[in-house]
């Protein structure tokens, strides 16, 4: 009888599982706006709770909402702590675990006073919920903050208007209502708030701008990255690493030869300041466009020593991500062949280091991570090929990870596209790989598919091996029955130093050959239909789209987003020109031939591909002049089908919900019309 019951239960389970599988449906455009993402995580000192910020679309509002959540590691129960239309962020635990400190810009009407006037302030809330309490009430708000290790004070930054002290200072101040090319800027000043006495003191108000700061665990010193002004051009190559003694007020600028002179490019960005628990070491990272990033450690003392850390396997440390000390070990995020891992660099001392350990193995793309106070428990947000990200908690040895959140339960009913790593050989013999997405029900050998070639930005970046339903093509095209091919061309990160630096001096050449040979390999494999190809990308992906369609007529349609047309123009008007100088191997008057060769503008007459052009009206990274140049050439002189879509009040990325929908609908219709001959159709609009 027991055996019959077990068999019956098993049959029912199979039937239910089959029914659930049959109930799965194709992913739609509207599904994009149901996705939630975890942006920051922080595990509690005792390792029992994880605080995190979740962002999701909240119709009919135009921008995504951020809220603070907390999850119980043991029970996997998640509790939402905040419910306002505000941007909660930067969650940090008090040392005793009784409070979560965070930033938010709460607004209670136009006449509301600080802290409810919409300015960003520091708040705290109990992990068990309740009303958030304002910690600061600063006019015009704060920029960011950090709790000290003891939890009895915090440092926050504010912006202050500053004028360059030169012959024209008085005249600029007299006519302050106009905009100047230089001489007027905002700088960050630093204040320390004692959480016992609630008294505040200014601890840094020098003429220089503070880009980043970190307090030593004993509270006696401050590590700083400072620049002349807040202009980004001053951060690339002109930022310095300083130490401020908070008792004597003495500031020491550390020697920067390791990242300014002993390197291929002086235009590096400093970030990632992190103190060791014994107050004796400070880690810092320098990142370059086109060259591998490096990690450095300042070993403090009477004879302060700066050393460069070895990068295991030439893995690529991620810029803008935390560097976290555990004793004499440094834990970092590194890119490894389209995956991102947390690794531990072990035994760092003046004489060197003692190997490394991978803490997150497998097909994962890790984001934020944090350790419990005793260092035994590790919380990580990671993405997989099946999920856009949840929080996982395990041992700091890299074992026993279990998910503690499920922020996208609606995905259970979606048909998830197939995903794999596709490899090929470039014309010069170099192995290249990319991410290939296929329709959920596609069977290899059943015939070729229309294929969208999605080109990632950067180029100091890569397409990751993860579920990424984004507005640039991934997941969207497989849900339409297409293949989506994402080549990690030369210059991409995570594939070794030479693979990355091969692009220097060879833009609009070597990576274009990588892309086109990858398409050839995909056609030869019977996956891509050579008569139904389209290409698109954003930022450097837009530049490469512009480049590719000047090299070949094989693509039936193109979508170029925020793409460079002319390198000279880009250097002259973008906010980070060192990027261009690195790849051109010199200034315009030094390597003129390279500047021309790398610019698609000089070969626009070769374009026959119907091209849709997108750009943000206020884009400072790739200004709209490039898009207007391409549109003018195609529309007025070459008579190639084209449309220019300009998004008002948007920068290098599109943040408004209606604009993102417009971008996706324009892409779908444009590419289907010119690749498949389909008529323009609009999906039903969601209820407001």
**Which pLDDT score, from 0 to 100, does residue 14 have?**
39
Three-class SS of residue 226?
strand
**pLDDT score of 688:** 53
pLDDT single digits (tens) 494-552: 999 999 999 999 999 999 999 999 999 999 999 999 999 999 999 999 999 999 999 99
pLDDT of residue 686: 60
Please say whether the beta carbons of 492 and 458 come within 8 A.
Answer: yes
The pLDDT tens digits of the residues spanning 665-675 come to 999 999 999 99
> Residue 685's pLDDT is what?
65
Question: Cα angle vertex 572, ends 571, 576, to 5°?
Answer: 50
Q: Rounded to 5 degrees, what are φ and ψ at 143?
A: -100, -45
- Whether the upstream peptide bond of residue 459 has omega within 30° of 0, thus cis, is yes
Longest dimension (CA), the chain: 97
Position 490 pLDDT exceeds 80: yes
Helices (H) and strands (E) in the chain, counts: 14, 37
**90 upstream amide cis, omega within 30 of 0:** no
* Domain range list for the chain: 34-127+392-413, 415-676
The more confident residue out of 372 and 683 is 372
**Superfamily the domain 415-676 falls into:** Alpha/Beta hydrolase fold, catalytic domain (3.40.50.1820)
Give residue-wise pLDDT tens across range 462-473.
Answer: 999 999 999 999
pLDDT in tens, 200-235: 999 999 888 999 999 999 999 999 999 999 989 888
What does pLDDT average to over the chain? 94
What whole-number distance in Å separates Cα of residue 60 and Cα of residue 187?
36
**3-state class of 600 per DSSP?**
helix
Confidence band of 59 (pLDDT split at 50, 70, 90):
confident
Residue indicated by tokens 């990588």: 514
The verdict on pTM exceeding 0.85 is yes
Mean pLDDT of all residues in 261-268: 94
Which has more pLDDT, 420 or 686?
420
Structure-token pair, residue 324:
């976290």
The answer regarding whether domain 34-127+392-413 maps to CATH 3.40.50.150 reads no
Residue 150 has pLDDT above 70, yes or no: yes
pLDDT in tens, 62-121: 999 999 999 999 999 999 999 999 999 999 999 999 999 999 999 998 899 999 999 999
How high is the pLDDT of residue 160?
87
Per DSSP, 634 falls in state I
Condensed to tens digits (0 to 9), the pLDDT of residues 7-41 reads 333 333 334 444 444 569 999 999 999 999 999 99
pLDDT exceeds cutoff 80 at 165: yes
pLDDT for res 687: 56
For 512, phi then psi, to 5°, come to -65, -40
Which of 117-121, 233-237, 459-463, 684-688 shows the lowest per-residue confidence on average (mean pLDDT)? Answer: 684-688
Residues of the chain with pLDDT > 70: what percent? 96
CA distance 638 to 650: 29
Beta bridge partners of 614: 561, 645
Cα separation, 480 vs 636, in Å, equals 33
């Amino acid at each position: 009888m027991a055996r019959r019951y077990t068999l019956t239960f098993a049959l029912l389970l199979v039937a239910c599982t089959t029914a659930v599988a049959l109930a799965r449906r194709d992913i739609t455009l509207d599904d994009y706006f149901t996705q939630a993402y975890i942006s920051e995580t922080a595990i509690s000192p005792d390792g029992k709770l994880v605080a995190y910020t979740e962002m999701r679309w909240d119709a009919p509002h135009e921008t995504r909402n951020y809220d603070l959540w907390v999850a119980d590691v043991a029970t996997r129960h998640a509790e939402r702590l905040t419910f306002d239309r505000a941007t909660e962020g930067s969650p940090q635990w008090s040392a005793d675990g009784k409070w979560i400190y965070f930033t938010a810009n709460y607004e209670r009407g136009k006449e509301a006073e600080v802290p409810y006037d919409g300015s960003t302030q520091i708040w705290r809330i109990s992990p068990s919920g309740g009303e958030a309490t304002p910690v600061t009430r600063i006019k015009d708000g704060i920029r960011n903050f950090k709790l000290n290790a003891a939890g009895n004070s915090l440092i926050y930054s504010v912006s202050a208007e500053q004028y360059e002290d030169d012959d024209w200072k008085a005249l600029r101040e007299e006519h302050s209502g106009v905009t100047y090319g230089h001489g007027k800027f905002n700088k960050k000043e630093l204040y320390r708030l004692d959480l016992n006495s609630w008294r505040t003191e200014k601890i840094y108000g020098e003429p220089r701008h503070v880009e980043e700061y970190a307090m030593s665990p004993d509270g006696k010193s401050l590590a700083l990255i400072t620049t002349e002004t807040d202009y980004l051009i001053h951060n690339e190559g002109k930022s310095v690493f300083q130490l401020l003694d908070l008792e004597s007020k003495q500031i020491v600028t550390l020697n920067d030869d390791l990242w300014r002179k002993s390197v291929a490019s002086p235009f590096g960005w400093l970030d990632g300041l992190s103190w060791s628990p014994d107050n004796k070491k400070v880690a810092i990272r320098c990142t370059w466009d086109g060259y591998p990033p490096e990690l450095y450690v300042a070993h403090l003392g009477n004879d302060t020593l700066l050393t460069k850390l070895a990068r295991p396997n030439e893995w690529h440390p991620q810029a803008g991500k935390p560097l976290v000390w555990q004793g004499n070990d440094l834990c970092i995020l590194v890119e490894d062949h389209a995956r991102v891992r947390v690794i531990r660099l072990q035994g760092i001392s003046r004489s060197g280091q003692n190997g490394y350990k991978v803490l997150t193995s497998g097909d994962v793309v890790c984001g934020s991570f944090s350790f419990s106070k005793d260092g035994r428990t590790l919380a990580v947000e990671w993405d997989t090929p099946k999920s856009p990200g949840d929080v996982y908690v395990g041992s700091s040895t890299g074992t026993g990870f279990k998910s503690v959140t499920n922020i996208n339960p609606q995905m259970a009913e979606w048909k998830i596209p197939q995903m794999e790593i596709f490899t090929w050989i470039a014309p010069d013999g170099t192995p290249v790989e990319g991410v290939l997405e296929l329709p959920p029900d596609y069977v290899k050998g059943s015939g070729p598919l229309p294929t969208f070639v999605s080109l990632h930005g950067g180029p100091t970046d890569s397409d990751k091996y993860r579920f990424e339903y984004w507005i640039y093509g991934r997941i969207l095209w497989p849900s339409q029955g297409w293949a989506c091919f994402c080549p990690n061309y030369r210059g991409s990160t995570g594939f070794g130093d030479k693979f990355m630096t091969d692009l220097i001096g060879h833009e609009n050449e070597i990576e274009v050959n990588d892309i086109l040979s990858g398409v050839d390999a995909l056609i030869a494999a019977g996956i891509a239909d050579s008569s139904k190809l389209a290409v698109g990308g954003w930022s450097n992906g837009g530049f490469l789209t512009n480049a590719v369609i000047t090299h070949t007529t094989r693509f039936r349609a193109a979508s170029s987003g925020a793409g460079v047309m002319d390198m000279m123009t880009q250097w002259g008007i973008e906010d980070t020109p060192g990027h261009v100088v690195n790849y051109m191997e010199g200034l315009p008057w030094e390597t003129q031939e390279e500047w021309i060769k790398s610019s698609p503008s000089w070969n626009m007459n070769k374009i026959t591909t119907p091209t849709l052009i997108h750009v943000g009206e206020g884009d400072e990274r790739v200004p709209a002049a490039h898009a207007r140049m391409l549109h003018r050439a195609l529309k007025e002189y070459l008579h190639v089908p084209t449309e220019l879509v300009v998004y008002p009040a948007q920068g290098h990325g599109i943040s408004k919900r209606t604009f993102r929908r417009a971008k996706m609908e324009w892409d779908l219709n444009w590419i289907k019309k010119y690749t498949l001959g389909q008529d323009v159709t609009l999906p039903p609009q969601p209820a407001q």
